[in-house]
Amino acid sequence: MSTNLTKAELVSLVAKDTEMTKAASERILNSMIANIQEALVKGKTIQLIGFGSFSTTQRAARTGRNPQTGKKINIPAKTVPKFKPGKNLREAVNSPKKKGKKKKK
């Protein structure tokens, strides 16, 4: 596997872990993504205890600069998705690496 985990690789891992077909695993993953997106569009928060929370936040309008010309531009206000990792995810990411496994170069 590469440094990044692709959707296809994630589907394969889910299929292996659940002993389901890749097609069934992909339908489940697509459904989860669609339902999370739909809930965020409606302004809801999704809490997956131990993993994290998906929510939206408002970003205020502001003035920026075009990096090529230096000209001022107005950046409109918008709603952006936000993810806050849960305690278990933070601890897993920050835990010491297991001994015996070496990083690939």
Whole-angstrom Cα distance, residue 84 to residue 80? 13
Q: What is the pLDDT of residues 15-65, one digit of tens each?
A: 999 999 999 999 999 999 999 999 999 999 999 999 999 999 999 999 999
Q: Please enumerate in sequence order all residues whose Cβ is within 8 A of that of 28, keeping only pairs 6 or more positions apart, or say none.
A: 14, 20
What letter represents residue 100's amino acid?
A: G
Q: What is the pLDDT of residues 70-92, one digit of tens each?
A: 999 999 999 999 999 999 999 99
Whole-angstrom Cα distance, residue 89 to residue 50? 6
Tell me the pTM. Answer: 0.76
Whole-angstrom Cα distance, residue 68 to residue 34? 37
Look at residue 1 and give its three-state secondary structure.
Answer: coil
Is residue 1 predicted with pLDDT exceeding 80? no
